[in-house]
Chains A and B, each alone.
Chain A
Amino acid sequence: MDKGAMWRRREMVALLGAAAAPAWAQFRVEVTGVGLTQLPIAIAPFRGEGQSQQKIAAIVQADLERSGQFRAIDAAGAALDEGSRPDVTPWRQKGADSLAVGSVSRLADGRWDVRFRLWDVVRGQDLGGQSYAVVAGDLRLAAHRIADYIYEKLTGEKGVFSTRIAYVTKAGNRYNLWVADSDGENSQSALASGEPIISPAWSADGTRLAYVSFESRKPVVYVHDVATGKRRLVANFRGSNSAPAWSPDGRTLAVTLSRDGGSQLYTISATGGEPRRLTQSAGIDTEPVYAPDGRSIYFVSDRGGAPQIYRMPAAGGNPERVTFTGSYNISPAVSPDGRWLAYISRIGGAFKLQVMELGSNTVHSITDTTADESPSFAPNGRLIVYATRQNGREALMTTTLDGKIKARLAGQGGDIREPDWGPFQK
């Protein structure tokens, strides 16, 4: 937003593990730009993390940096753990306000015990700690939970690091729907297909994904339980079936169907059944999203001659136009508190992520890329994930709402697109 702000490019590359570590263990976080107030924190290497597959301290640090609200203070070589009573003076001298210390150790049953403690080094105060007993596959989850604990303790808001992001990759003619950690790492394939997959959408409880699959040579909507792989074809009507959006209570999907001619909005039970028509226009109505309170639906319509974003009651009814600037505004996403609308606007041939404050209707363009797509809010509303093109390649980015802190998410090779940020984990 503040275009006059000084932009600084900072790149942090963290290599996980020694030379013996497998290639997938390498991860990379790029942070561009600086925020105005960032909390300085030192995260000491966790004692014993060299024995585990995951470098807990590096994951926690990258999480906090990506949020834009923290600045990492170098803690290399510190030999501390959650049982230490650290001498706060050197940390204060380095400029840290807080210090996180911890350990990783193998339990007799094969699981890992991850412990940490957070210190306020200005006051010399113990800010508490946690321990997690996890299987190896959940070591990163434990690290993200630690980052969430620190984030909440120091900012007063819930962290989103232990949440999950869904996205789609295309490599050659293979399409994959992935479920990954919020940093894009630890991706697991939920669906592999020889035909496109688009528009994944998390249910509010974070267990199911709705998406559009072209595996039957036409777009149809599935609801897919990611833990079990069980899925159900919920919209396979004549013509195209697309753009699924969950109602906040998880019972209903808003979808775009062409069964009655044209692309129009319908609601349908999340378990399938007969759809109910929501809109009656001669043009295109698509990309529905429920407002967080479930009472209204934002959607895209070209009823006025060009695609614009509208809002209408969730049961259908009179739509009111929401976007007025420009002639191509699509892909609405509403923040969890209902205050912000993120969307994509075509501006001079470029497709740009916009953030509108719904109360004042002020709009800010928050990227300097030209092929932005598919914005989705983090469940705490402080970050947006979106797809774009960087150096000729598809990329997933996170950004703060003011556009000042951006990070490119790790991911599979090939083209990467269609991110959707899942809810807080139970």
Chain B
Amino acid sequence: MFKGVFAAFAVAVALVACSSVPLSDVPVEDKSASTVGQQPGGPGGAQSSVAPVVTDTAAGTVAGPANVSRLIYFDYDSYEIKPEFQSLIEAHARFLKANADRRVAIEGHTDERGGREYNLALGQRRAEAVRRALVLLGVADNRLEAVSFGKEKPAVPGNDEAAYAQNRRAELVYRR
């Protein structure tokens, strides 16, 4: 569905051994370089070098239903869809049934408290709750993908309950 493309900026980097030679057998008085054998190593790239990769930008989005919010908010530690969001979900289900070429990614999000991976799983639960609600309203499951951003993409900054409440959400993102 979304193809990841990347560009490798640097090609293979020659590995050069960081040669080490014990000095134990060298008389301490002798400082001449000739008495310390060296492994040959080319003056090329550093042994510890890393080749950088830069990703391209993600695929674009298309419009969903006009004048309908794409955001569903959740209570703390909950993935239950509150009754006030039912009409919003119904509007999206109607739009999807009327526009057979549209697909939707449901992106789950959490507030910033807790671990990144565990929050990713919690956000996934929220996205899947919305996906199930759309399927119950007759939208084909293969047009929906529930994914999670965990706590990685807060809608608003801040670490108070007002910010947290806006960040615990699922977003519907339309694609063709």
A positions within 8 Å CB-CB of B = 81-85, 109-111, 113, 115-117, 126, 128-138, 141-142, 145, 164, 179, 181, 186, 188-196, 198-199, 212-220, 222, 224, 226-231, 233, 236, 238-240, 242-243, 256, 258, 261-263, 284, 286-287, 300, 307, 328, 330-331, 344, 346, 351, 373-374, 417-418
Contacts and interface: CB of A to CB of B under 8 A. Distances in A.
Interface of B: 1-4, 6, 8-13, 15-16, 18-24, 26, 28-31, 33, 36, 38-39, 41, 43-59, 105, 107, 113-118, 120-122, 124-125, 128, 145-150, 152-153, 173
A110 B9 CA distance: 26
A304 B121 CA distance: 16
Contact of B57 (A164, A194, A229): A194
B38 A135 contact: no
Contact of B54 (A138, A192, A374): A192
A119 to B, nearest CB: 10
B39 to A, nearest CB: 7
A231 B4 CA distance: 11
B145 A238 contact: yes
Contacts of B24: 126, 128-129
B23 A82 contact: yes
A135 B8 contact: no
A109 B113 CA distance: 54
Contact of B36 (A131, A164, A228, A240): A131
B78 to A, nearest CB: 13
Q: Which of A85, A133, A243, A331 has the most CB of B within 10 A?
A: A133
Given A131-B38, A135-B46, A216-B3, A195 B118 contact: no
Nearest to B56: A215
18 contacts: A115-B36, A128-B22, A138-B47, A142-B18, A164-B48, A190-B53, A192-B54, A193-B54, A199-B116, A216-B2, A216-B4, A220-B4, A228-B51, A258-B124, A262-B124, A286-B117, A330-B118, A351-B115
A193 B146 contact: no
A110 B20 contact: no
B4 A215 contact: yes
A83 B28 contact: yes
Contacts of A129: 22-24, 26
Most chain B CB neighbours (cut-off 10 Å) among A136, A284, A373: A284
A137 B22 CA distance: 22
Given A217-B59, A330-B114, 9 more contacts: A82-B23, A129-B24, A132-B21, A134-B46, A216-B2, A229-B8, A239-B124, A239-B146, A239-B147
Interface centre among A130, A190, A192, A263 (most CB of B within 10 A): A263
B51 A229 contact: yes
A137 B2 contact: no
Given A83-B30, A229-B52, A286-B120, A213 B4 contact: yes
Contacts of A199: 116-117
B38 to A, nearest CB: 5
A188 B47 contact: no
Task: Tell which of A116, A130, A417 has the most Cβ of chain B within 10 Å.
Answer: A130
B23 A287 contact: no
A236 B52 contact: no
A214 B124 contact: no
A117 B28 contact: yes
Nearest to A129: B23
Contacts of A110: 43
List the 9 shortest-distance A-B pairs measured between CB atoms, nearest first. A137-B46, A129-B23, A229-B51, A83-B31, A188-B50, A196-B152, A216-B2, A263-B121, A128-B24
B23 A145 contact: no
A284 B9 CA distance: 38
